[in-house]
Chains A and B, each alone.
Chain A
Amino acid sequence: KQEVTQIPAALSVPEGENLVLNCSFTDSAIYNLQWFRQDPGKGLTSLLLIQSSQREQTSGRLNASLDKSSGRSTLYIAASQPGDSATYLCAVTNTGNQFYFGTGTSLTVIP
């Protein structure tokens, strides 16, 4: 069974810092990997979707990379802002069309 782990579980940084969130998965037979954002008590917002044939995707201050062979993805957030405070979840879709969420990283950006 696919296991998706995110490190760190929680992260607190001062405003303006660049930061990296990590996601690792045990089964490299995936179709794609996604990064989501969840605000407290709310649903999820999709940030970036990387297909298995891609190495990275960028959207504004966000850059996500994928190394399928090593089972790793990183989400890079540039020039962090207090509004970036949220829980970030990665999720993978296996080639068996099964969808697995990671354990999440709770990010706090301090003004």
Chain B
Amino acid sequence: GAVVSQHPSWVICKSGTSVKIECRSLDFQATTMFWYRQFPKQSLMLMATSNEGSKATYEQGVEKDKFLINHASLTLSTLTVTSAHPEDSSFYICSAMVGSLSTDTQYFGPGTRLTVL
């Protein structure tokens, strides 16, 4: 089946530093990749949608200069949290999809737990 990996699975960093999270589709080429964040006991909130080779589309309220998304290939997207602060601590989940939302499912990565001290 379709597998999506994320690296790292968890990361602890100091306030003010930048953190990069990778999302890879291991056995398929993804048309689109999505980035979500999830706070404790809450549902997933979509942050941005990215297609290979084009700029990401950010949801309202998500700072594109703070959360940099690079979709370098059909199997890799990266999310960089720049100048991280404690309020950025969260669970970040990516998903990858072949085709379109109207007919196809997203395959989710296992998530990355970010803790900013």
Contact = CB atoms under 8 A, between A and B. Distances in A.
Interface residues of A, number: 22
Interface string A19-49: 0000000000001101010000111111001
Nearest to B97: A99
A48 to B, nearest CB: 10
Contact of A101 (B43, B100, B109): B43
Nearest to B45: A101
B91 A93 contact: no
Contacts, number: 52
Contacts of A45: 108
Interface residues of B, number: 23
B113 A41 contact: yes
A71 interface: no
Interface in B22-36: 34
A51 B111 contact: no
B48 to A, nearest CB: 12
Consensus secondary structure, chain A interface? strand
B111 A46 contact: no
A97 B101 contact: yes
24 contacts: A31-B101, A31-B102, A32-B103, A34-B105, A41-B91, A42-B110, A43-B109, A43-B110, A44-B95, A45-B108, A49-B105, A51-B103, A89-B44, A93-B102, A95-B102, A99-B46, A99-B101, A101-B44, A101-B45, A101-B46, A102-B43, A103-B42, A103-B43, A104-B43
